């Protein structure tokens, strides 16, 4: 859902001729998606480690 929002913001930005790097809403959403990916990675790593113990 969050990544879809990011993609939508990116498409809208490009359609309006706004550079992606200058779109504050897009940058904020990108950081949110990055944070979620890091959380998933950490959770996956913890699950993998606890499965090996």
pLDDT tens, position by position, for the chain (53 residues)? 999 999 999 999 999 999 999 999 999 999 999 999 999 999 999 999 888 65
Separation CA 38–CA 40 (nearest Å): 5
pLDDT at 51: 80
* 3-state secondary structure string across 1-53: CHHHHHHHHHHHHHHCCCCHHHCHHHHHHHHHHHHHHHHHHHHHHHHHHHHHC
pLDDT at 53: 52
Ramachandran sector of residue 17 (left: φ over 0; alpha: ψ -120 to 50; beta: rest): left
Extents of the domains making up the chain: 2-52
Question: What pTM did the predictor assign?
Answer: 0.83
Q: How many Å separate Cα 17 from the centre of its chain? A: 22
pLDDT at 24: 98
């Amino acid at each position: 859902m969050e990544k879809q929002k990011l993609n939508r913001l990116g498409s809208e930005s490009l359609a309006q001729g706004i550079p992606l790097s200058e779109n504050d809403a897009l940058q904020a959403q990108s950081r949110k998606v990055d944070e979620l990916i890091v959380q998933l990675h950490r959770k996956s790593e913890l699950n993998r480690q606890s499965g090996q113990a």
